[in-house]
Amino acid sequence: MSLLLGHPPKLCVRKPVLVRASPLLSNGISSSSVQTPPCYILGAKQCEAYVGKLMIVNANDRKCICTYLDKKVPLDLVYNHPYNEMVKIGSSHGWVATLRYDGILRLQDDLNPVASDSDPKRISLPPLVTLPHCQTQIITNVSMSAPSPEEEDCVVAVKFLGPQLSFCRPAAQCNPEWINIRIANPCFFSSRVMFSKKDDMFCILGSGGDIIGSWDLRKHKHTPKLQKLQFQNLPELKNTTLEVLSSCCCTIEHLVESRCTGETFLVKQYKKTAEIVDGIAKMKTEALMVFKLDGEGNAVYTQDIGDLSIFLSNSEPFCVPPSTFPGMFRNTVYIFDFDELGFFDLSKDNYVGAFSTPSTMFPYFIPPQKID
């Protein structure tokens, strides 16, 4: 990958930040920790004409109490407005990706709870290049290989709806460029991209969840490495469970890697229409199935992921050891989407304390952030 992007050294990713557990302060941050808990953005309380103070909820706060931060953020980044010149298209490592109407993609740390509001970092990438018979207006997600696009070896991957996948290294050169790839297999057209630190490659899980495409551009170039998955240890489902699954109109597959343990999981999320409001269907998760990948093509069904929690939202999924942040549930999948917010207890195979929320404009979980 580094050769294709014009940078000889091998792509290097920082080691995961070590965290220390200790009694929590009132804001949910450990007094001796070096990272914030995972959180989600609840909104912003207007304090100036176009600026508001950030409102967050920490994932280890079981009462889900909103914390009002002193950090100021642009209101148009939190809330949609018909006159906005940009739209939010994803989030990775706490950086929000926005796309302007002129085709400029920008990464910014405005909504990172610990980032500076007096000196926000906003990195504009080169104008997107659309391959023939592709489109760059609808984006499935954005993924970064490092915690910050300012790191020299950080590669940004953008997956578009359809066959185009694009890479850029923002800090590698004075004039960064996009490397565009056309994916031949249509099973990847609607899938999301993620970066595997363990394999040092960007990966895409095919629709249906039975094949993984991996891109190491130094070796595979425009032809990905494909791995067929074999599902094992499948449970015998009760008739009631089968009825629930058959009633779901939407299945979403997620590929998520635990940086602290080196494990990779495939999560199948089954959703159905809960209600219809003003002609818009509100979706709710009805069931989850988690599979642990062994690296040999085996996907083993499990209801025990140990001391881990998985966070699924419209941002890049991630794993966190809950023992690091007292108050978080272990062996749990946290879910945040436009119309739902809850958590799924894998051992009991059901939602615990799931509840609906008003439609949010920012359904992103923010992973733990280093406290400087």
pTM: 0.87
What ranges do the domains of the chain cover?
39-366
| pLDDT of 214 above 90 | yes
Give the strand pairing for 280-293 and 193-196. unpaired
Q: Is 112 left (phi over 0), alpha (psi -120 to 50) or beta?
A: beta
Helix (H/G/I), strand (E/B), else coil: 205: strand
Residue-wise pLDDT for 236-272, tens only, equals: 877 777 777 888 888 999 999 999 999 999 999 999 8
Residue-wise pLDDT for 306-316, tens only, equals: 999 999 999 99
* Distant-in-sequence, close-in-space partners of 291: CB < 8 Å, separation ≥ 6: 231, 265, 266, 267, 268, 299, 300, 301, 302
Tokens for 326?
Answer: 């007292």
Rounded to whole angstroms, the Cα distance separating 125 from 178 reads 9
Cβ atoms of 301 and 234 within 8 Å: the answer is yes
Residues facing residue 179 across a β-bridge = 167
Cβ atoms of 73 and 354 within 8 Å: the answer is no
Q: Using CA of residue 299, residue 301, residue 303, residue 306, what is the dihedral sign?
A: negative
| pLDDT of 172 above 70 | yes
Say how far residue 128 (Cα) sits from the centre of its chain.
Answer: 21
Fold of 39-366: Neuraminidase (2.120.10)
Please compute Rg for the chain using Cα positions. Answer: 20
Cβ atoms of 143 and 167 within 8 Å: the answer is no
| pLDDT of 112 above 50 | yes
Residues facing residue 54 across a β-bridge = 44
CA distances from 183 to 18, 156, 159 (A): 37, 17, 10
Polymer length in residues for the chain:
372
Q: Most distant CA pair in the chain: distance in Å?
A: 60
| pLDDT of 286 above 90 | no
Centre a 10 Å sphere on the Cβ of residue 372 and count the other Cβ atoms it contains: 7
| pLDDT of 16 above 60 | no
Q: Choose between 2 and 185: higher pLDDT.
A: 185
Give the strand pairing for 340-345 and 139-144. unpaired
Return mean pLDDT, the chain.
85
| pLDDT of 31 above 60 | no
- Residues 90-107: what's their mean pLDDT? 92
Residue-wise pLDDT for 328-354, tens only, equals: 999 999 999 888 888 999 998 877 766
Q: What is the pLDDT of residue 79?
A: 81
H helices within the chain, ranges in order? 75-78, 239-247
- Given pLDDT bands bounded at 50, 70 and 90, which one contains residue 77? confident
| pLDDT of 111 above 60 | yes
Q: Choose between 281 and 136: higher pLDDT.
A: 136
